[in-house]
């Protein structure tokens, strides 16, 4: 296996594992186990799928979302904070993809 192909495989897998592990760790005491696992799997899937197109911006959008979640869970109930952070994550990932499309369009 050449190094280019292994890099194309390693970046999305690493991004997905990172996103899932951080989501699982951050939501430890606030949510039920089923909700924690579902949130972790969903964030891992979204960040991993987006990192196929936008290598590192998806991880940055995820980190911004986690900071937002940590702030929102102090202000609101955990379920509302999770829903708000899901909206922020989708918006951040969409913005990252649109930024890459604009960058590639101008080349």
For residue 78, the model assigns a pLDDT of: 85
Question: What are the tens digits of pLDDT across the range 28-85?
Answer: 777 889 989 999 999 999 999 999 888 889 999 999 999 999 999 999 988 899 999 9
pTM: 0.88
Number of domains observed in the structure of the chain: 1
DSSP at 77: -
Residue 101: its H or E element: helix 78-105
Which range of residues forms the domain containing residue 32? Answer: 3-105
Mean pLDDT lowest among 9-13, 26-30, 85-89: 26-30
83-89 long-range contacts (CB < 8 A, ≥24 apart) are 86/39, 86/42, 88/64, 89/43, 89/46, 89/61, 89/62, 89/65
């Amino acid at each position: 296996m050449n190094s280019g192909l292994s890099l194309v495989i390693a970046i999305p897998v690493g991004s997905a594992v990172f996103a899932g592990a951080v989501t699982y760790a951050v939501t430890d005491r606030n949510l039920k186990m089923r909700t924690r696992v579902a949130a972790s799997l969903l964030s891992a899937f979204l960040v991993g799928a987006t990192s196929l197109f936008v290598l590192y911006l998806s991880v940055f959008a995820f980190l911004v979302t986690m900071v937002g979640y940590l702030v929102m869970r102090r202000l609101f109930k955990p379920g509302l904070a999770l829903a708000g952070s899901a909206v922020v994550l989708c918006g951040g990932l969409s913005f990252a993809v649109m930024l890459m499309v604009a960058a590639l369009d101008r080349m």
